[in-house]
Amino acid sequence: MRNEIGLMEENLHNLVGQQLHLEVTDHGVYDYDIAKLFEAEETKYILAQRLSPEREGYLLKLIDLGDDWYTLCDIEDDAEWERARAASAHTDTLHR
C-alpha cells in the first residue's frame, strides 16, 4: 500500500478542503485537496483532487478505528474501487 494516513477528527466533514501528498503509481507524488466525503455500502470514502489545472481525482477509503481515529488508505480491491468510483460521481480522470 502506497498511501496510508492516520488522523483524528470528530467531524469528518472538516476534512473537506484539507491537503494531502499522495503517491500515484508510475507518476510520482502530488499535492491534492479533499474535495468530497461520500459513502458506498456503509463504507466512507474521500475524493481528493490534484492541485493542478486538470484536477485529476484520487479515491481513498476511510477506516473507522473508533474514538474519532481513522486511517485514510488506498483502495486495493478492484470491485470495491469500482463501487467507490461509481458512488463518487467523478467523471474525469481518477487514480488509485
Question: Rounded mean pLDDT of 17-36?
Answer: 90
The model's pLDDT over 54-92, given as tens digits with 9 standing for 90+, comes to 889 999 999 999 999 999 999 999 999 999 999 999 989
**38 CB-near residues (< 8 Å, 6+ apart):** 44, 45, 46, 47, 87, 88
**How high is the pLDDT of residue 47?**
96
* Range(s) of the domain holding residue 84: 4-95
The model's pTM is 0.87
User: Could you give the number of structural domains in the chain?
Assistant: 1
Distance CA 66, CA 82 (A): 26
